[in-house]
A and B are shown apart, each in its own frame.
Chain A
């Protein structure tokens, strides 16, 4: 089925461990994004990618690494997880909305708890 999927849906890990969150989209959208959502902060951009092999930092990139070897995949890695990285993570891709404006399509999210 066409869409954007994230895995896992839930993840519990310990501080200092490496964790990778997966994101896959079937629309061949050029742009893909990783956001984190914490209470009272809305969505904050971690990293984004304009195309395969092109990535750029967002608002809160520290402690995260991304790669995009293929257009459809955009994994996010926490190199050494910390408790402050406990959050809900959303992957998104960009299509075209009405009037030619931006329209983001979001995955279902990954709820990550770092103990």
Chain B
């Protein structure tokens, strides 16, 4: 079957850097996406990686290693507003390119 693993909860301090990991077991891997969801809100797109390497968008970066079936989301200069759940999701040829989602990582930021 296809599965994704990410930590259920991560705690960090305001102003620090935090990394949220995602490992996946899929066949026909196509790409890895990251979404942010605040409590009571809808998921919003953060990043997408189809090739190995690091993609940077402001304070957020996302990394992918296809050979290791692994990716991570890196958040720098953490702000209180970054407190949210973060989901990794993979698209695969076997799922007809539709997203398969991880269970989410709740990021708790302390002042």
Contacts and interface: CB of A to CB of B under 8 A. Distances in A.
B42 A42 contact: no
A102 B42 contact: no
A56 B38 CA distance: 29
Contacts, number: 57
Given A42-B87, A102-B31, A102-B48, A108 B42 contact: yes
For the complex, would chain A's binding face be called helix, strand, loop or mixed by DSSP majority? Answer: strand
A104 B31 contact: no
A48 B99 CA distance: 11
Contacts of B31: 101-102
Interface stretch (B11-19, B65-73, B100-108): B100-108
B98 A107 contact: no
Interface in A78-108: 90, 97-99, 101-108
Contacts of B89: 43
Interface residues of B, number: 26
Interface residues of A, number: 24
B7 interface: no
Interface of A: 33, 40-45, 48, 56, 58-59, 90, 97-99, 101-109
Given A42-B104, A43-B87, A101-B31, 18 more contacts: A33-B98, A40-B103, A41-B103, A42-B101, A42-B103, A43-B101, A44-B101, A58-B98, A97-B48, A98-B57, A102-B33, A102-B48, A103-B33, A104-B35, A104-B43, A106-B42, A106-B43, A108-B42
